[in-house]
Amino acid sequence: LNYLLPADAAFPPRAVCEQHGLHELCDMLERVVAPRREALVAVSNKNIFHMLQLYIDGVKRAKVTNALVVALDDETHAWLSEREFPSYVRKVKARGGSTDNHATSGLKFRILREFMLVGCSVLLSDVDVAWMRDPFPALYGDADVEGMTDGFDDISSYGAPGSGVLGAPAWRIFARNSGMFYLSATNESLRMMERMTHRMATESIWDQTAYNEEQFYLTTDTYQVRRRATCAPRRPFARCTRPIGHTPPHPSRAPVARAPAATRRFRACRGWASRSA
CA distance 133 to 146: 18
Residue 249 is which amino acid?
Answer: P
pTM for this prediction? 0.84
DSSP classification of residue 257: T
CA-angle at 232, arms to 130 and 42, nearest 5°:
30
CA distance 162 to 124: 32
pLDDT at 169: 81
ω into 248 cis (within 30 of 0): no
pLDDT at 11: 96
CA distance 151 to 165: 21
Are the beta carbons of 183 and 177 closer than 8 angstroms? no
CA distance 1 to 116: 14
pLDDT at 138: 87
CA distance 27 to 149: 33
Cα four-point dihedral sign 194, 195, 201, 207: negative
48-86 exposure pattern, b = at least 16 Cβ within 10 A, e = fewer: beebbebbbbbbeebebebbbbbbbbeebbebbeeeebb
Pairing of strands 273-275, 121-125: unpaired
Are the beta carbons of 169 and 163 closer than 8 angstroms? yes
pLDDT at 100: 59
pLDDT tens per residue across all 277 residues of the chain: 999 999 999 999 999 999 999 999 999 999 999 889 999 999 999 998 988 999 999 999 999 999 999 999 999 999 999 999 999 999 987 766 666 566 677 899 999 999 999 999 999 999 988 888 898 998 888 899 998 888 878 888 777 787 776 777 877 777 888 889 999 999 999 999 999 999 999 998 999 999 988 888 765 555 555 556 777 776 544 333 444 555 545 555 555 556 666 666 666 655 445 444 3
Are the beta carbons of 102 and 167 closer than 8 angstroms? no
pLDDT at 275: 47
CA distance 125 to 123: 6
Radius of gyration for the alpha carbons in the chain, expressed in angstroms and rounded? 18
CA distance 197 to 227: 18
Beta strands in the chain (DSSP E): 38-44, 67-71, 87-89, 121-125, 129-131, 145-149, 160-163, 169-172, 176-183, 231-234, 244-246, 273-275
Instruction: Please tell me the total number of residues recorded for the chain in this structure.
Output: 277
CA-angle at 248, arms to 209 and 180, nearest 5°:
60
Pairing of strands 38-44, 67-71: parallel
CA distance 164 to 161: 10
